[in-house]
Structure 1
């Protein structure tokens, strides 16, 4: 497993609950990616320097989506001068433990990511609904509820924050229990997940079944459902918490692989994709839609081609594959994909999707 586990993951992540800024469950744009909290023994300069280096490594994990980025030799000189990236810091104390709150400069970190040729995972990320069921030697099989297992869910939430993944947990009331019966949850029934997820409207769903194989051995089977695709993976560990944390960790890895963008200049070929937005019926809507397209990490430039009525056409210059661009556009809840047209002329020629004859069509609402 990844090096996130190298310092005793379970105990550290539980401790982070006390000091990490956890985003609201519905958040999908991650505004606090560049803020971390480190436990320190004193306010001395040496301890602050060491904590700042550790904090910057955590920031690079979140920003690149690579849990093992700290072992990258290119990053070591950067971590040694981590204080150059600090925007601000302060101390707090709780239960006789001193904490250093650090805010890093997003622009400086982003520039370094590009300079080193590392992937950049944009801060608009898939909101993920996490369902978990457990089978223990003593208690048998049951669905896990946050109110019954607050420490476990707090640890999972803290891990998700560490990876920059916005998560939400079902409340497991009668409505959830009806839509996601225990048997369907244990079977990782995708139809049940779709039905039960309607009230939460997640971008992705993560389902885990956690089995106690012996007193010291746990097995986790996970299924991540996102964007019409499913990813199954396993995890093992010595405790329920460990296999739960590994599940969220691996889900973050998979989503980062899908959405992370490598900087221009790494050999990627630029292409133009034509996008047509309908429902842009005011200057405010035009301004908001234009700003959104311009700020996409997958887009190098966004050039307005035309405005007609409530429709605007934009040429997006990108080096990512068309499907990756469509995945990114799908994360904005104000965009709704419209049905694709055949775009076949009398000779049988089919216009490529994303071309001027067959643009990507979305409604803005």
Structure 2
């Protein structure tokens, strides 16, 4: 039974350096929404556009839960996205007004989707998706930007200058904080620029957790902007990467993506409750005709956890098949649910010499 109903203009740098005394977790504007809510720009409010928006929203939510940039590419997720509306708890629309470069008013329609947490969690468990657990760390962003006037630190008073990376982190399911901007922290720009991660880690010791996303952003010689990044966890470099983009904001966002990849790789764990992927031999009782055979096999082929069905042999009133599963038998049985077509009798526990049995209604 199918799992049930149920996100180069000029870079906005600072006007003046301010004073602050504590790290503030950023990203509130982009995502006061929870992990199970997403906002998607759509072209209209018709059913087809809405259903496509539901699918994109579900992909974003699963991206937050798993820490995976391309959640739609995880085993089974693409198929479930076709039924994204079944996971929707509620939705509404928001109209945002803006201005085109010519000054003419523009309007953007945003679809706000709230998914049923239990249903999404159930689907993730059934598919055996890796889950990045809560609470999640909030690394400190140490970013220096050189727009041609020399590198300067982006501190708390310059939040808007770092908006692209802060918002992207929220889209990936975590938040970044900014340093307060003390004189000592401002002087750390040189350490950032020469890649002295140990010096930044020492300076960042007043903040929690002991994680730093260290980056420098500058104009690329060939045009556009280049961002170089290093992610440090408890003094250890987890990952280093760089990206060049025509737009400074897009180059900046690569920092949040790389940090999310490093964090989820370390902390996201796949539940073993659904079993291990592989090939499993299963007996299906109640097969008394070709129609029964077609109904059972077609049903199995339509299940998200089933990659393939290969008949092995036919017995009296029974069919033995080999199932290629993206999870194990527990995941299959969870997806069968109450069993509108096939069901598993939990009282019939297979032994080492028998195969699991499913029953055709």
Q: 2:264 pairs with 256, 260, 265, which one?
A: 256
Q: Distance in 2 between matches of 1:189 and 1:216?
A: 26
Q: Work out the number of aligned pairs and report it.
A: 243
Q: Distance in 1 between matches of 2:231 and 2:222?
A: 27
Q: 1:196 pairs with 180, 200, 203, which one?
A: 203
Which residue number corresponds to residue 55 of structure 1? 57
For residues 1-365 of structure 1, the aligned pairs below 5 Å read: 25=25, 32-72=34-74, 74-95=76-97, 96-136=107-147, 138-145=148-155, 147-148=157-158, 150=160, 152-177=161-186, 180-214=187-221, 216-238=223-245, 239-265=247-273, 266=275
Structure 1 position 169, deviation (Å)? 1.2
The 8 Å contact of residues 90 and 101 in structure 1, kept in 2 or not, is answered as yes
Structure 1 position 25, deviation (Å)? 0.9
The 8 Å contact of residues 204 and 224 in structure 1, kept in 2 or not, is answered as yes
Which residue number corresponds to residue 347 of structure 1? none
Secondary structure at 1:134's aligned position in 2? strand
- Higher RCO (CA < 8 A, seq sep 6+): 2
The 8 Å contact of residues 127 and 203 in structure 1, kept in 2 or not, is answered as no
Structure 1 position 10, deviation (Å)? 9.5
Q: Distance in 2 between matches of 1:203 and 1:83?
A: 40
Q: Distance in 2 between matches of 1:10 and 1:250?
A: 22
Structure 1 position 121, deviation (Å)? 0.9
Which residue number corresponds to residue 355 of structure 1? none
Q: Distance in 2 between matches of 1:205 and 1:26?
A: 14
The 8 Å contact of residues 188 and 200 in structure 2, kept in 1 or not, is answered as no
Secondary structure at 1:233's aligned position in 2? strand
Which runs of 5 or more residues in structure 1 are unaligned?
Answer: 1-8, 15-23, 269-365
Structure 1 position 200, deviation (Å)? 2.6
The 8 Å contact of residues 89 and 101 in structure 1, kept in 2 or not, is answered as yes
Q: Normalised by the size of structure 1, how large is the TM-score?
A: 0.60
Structure 1 position 125, deviation (Å)? 0.8
CA separation of 1:184/1:228 partners in 2, compared to 1, >3 Å: closer, same or farther? closer
CA separation of 1:98/1:75 partners in 2, compared to 1, >3 Å: closer, same or farther? same
Secondary structure at 1:42's aligned position in 2? coil
The 8 Å contact of residues 66 and 132 in structure 2, kept in 1 or not, is answered as yes
Which runs of 5 or more residues in structure 2 are unaligned?
Answer: 1-6, 13-23, 98-106, 278-361
Secondary structure at 2:202's aligned position in 1? helix
CA RMSD of aligned residues (A): 2.8
Which residue number corresponds to residue 5 of structure 1? none
Structure 1 position 41, deviation (Å)? 2.5
Whichever of the two has the greater Rg, that structure is: 2
The 8 Å contact of residues 217 and 236 in structure 1, kept in 2 or not, is answered as no
Structure 1 position 143, deviation (Å)? 2.3
Q: Normalised by the size of structure 2, how large is the TM-score?
A: 0.61
The 8 Å contact of residues 219 and 237 in structure 1, kept in 2 or not, is answered as yes
The 8 Å contact of residues 126 and 165 in structure 1, kept in 2 or not, is answered as yes
